[in-house]
Structure 1
Amino acid sequence: MTTTNTYELMFILRPDLTQQQVNQQMHKYRDLLKDLGAQKVSMEVWGKRRLAYEIQRFQEGVYILSYFTGDGSQVAPLEKNMRLSEEVIRYLTMKQDKEIEFEENELPEVEETVETPAPVVATEEVTSSEASEEEDTTSTEEEEEATPVEA
């Protein structure tokens, strides 16, 4: 009789991976768990977050939380695969004491985070003669403020 345990796996991927590469890694580890005999596998993307301390010169990482059920024989090969992977910078597998209810889900697709550029502020075009006039007026105003006035 084999006992089925629930395991929680948190792993952190390099922050410089593209959306497609993150999805490939998630599919890779889900398929590996299934091949190793895990009954249910659930993965949730937490997204890119700042690390508590620098790891391999990275200050951020893509966090992925996974739950799976199995007899425990999946843990060692999974961790060995993650240890040898260049994409995974940290991982942690924990056996849960109590039964955690979770549903096997389709792998979520990581959305590409596109930073919107700062808005461009339109300025009036100033001709070179107007620019020199503006410079002249500002310098005389500054000079007037600097000279003391006697009363």
Structure 2
Amino acid sequence: MRNYEALYIVAANLTDDQVSAIANRWKEVTEKLGGTVEEAGKWETRRLEFEIKGHRDGTYILMKFSGTPAIQHELKRQMMISDDILRLRIFLMEAV
């Protein structure tokens, strides 16, 4: 198993409950795929450098998880086609 960090942006006009629901949904998807989520939650809301899908502000959500490369690939595929997510990056964390 490898360690990953998924950092994704959702619209800033969502309520805290909606942001939590989105974070929990992706946590559940990761666990259904066989991954282990260590941490998931709202990071911060910021003004975006440029407009993304019609939004100038975004809320960042950080999810730390462990899984195989196949899990990471499938999670990324599903997140990329989701309407909730404006932008997504998944990072492979180096072992220290």
Same fold (TM over 0.5): yes
Query: 1:106: which partner in 2?
Result: none
Q: CA deviation at 1:44?
A: 3.2
Which residue, out of 51, 64, 69, partners 1:54? 51
- 1:73 partner SS: helix
Distance 1:41 1:58 in 2: 29
Identity rate, percent: 26
Q: CA deviation at 1:6?
A: 0.5
Q: Which runs of 5+ in 1 are unaligned?
A: 100-151
Which residue, out of 24, 31, 34, partners 2:31? 34
Distance 1:88 1:39 in 2: 21
Q: Which runs of 4+ in 1 moved over 4 A?
A: none
1:1-150 aligned within 5 A: 4-99=1-96
CA contact (8 A) 1:36 1:73 kept: no
Distance 1:51 1:98 in 2: 31
Q: Give me the TM-score of the superposition, normalised by structure 1.
A: 0.59
Q: CA deviation at 1:9?
A: 0.7
Q: Which runs of 5+ in 2 are unaligned?
A: none
Letter in 2 for 1:21: Q
**Aligned residues, how many?**
96
Q: RCO higher in 1 or 2 (8 Å CA, sep ≥ 6)?
A: 2
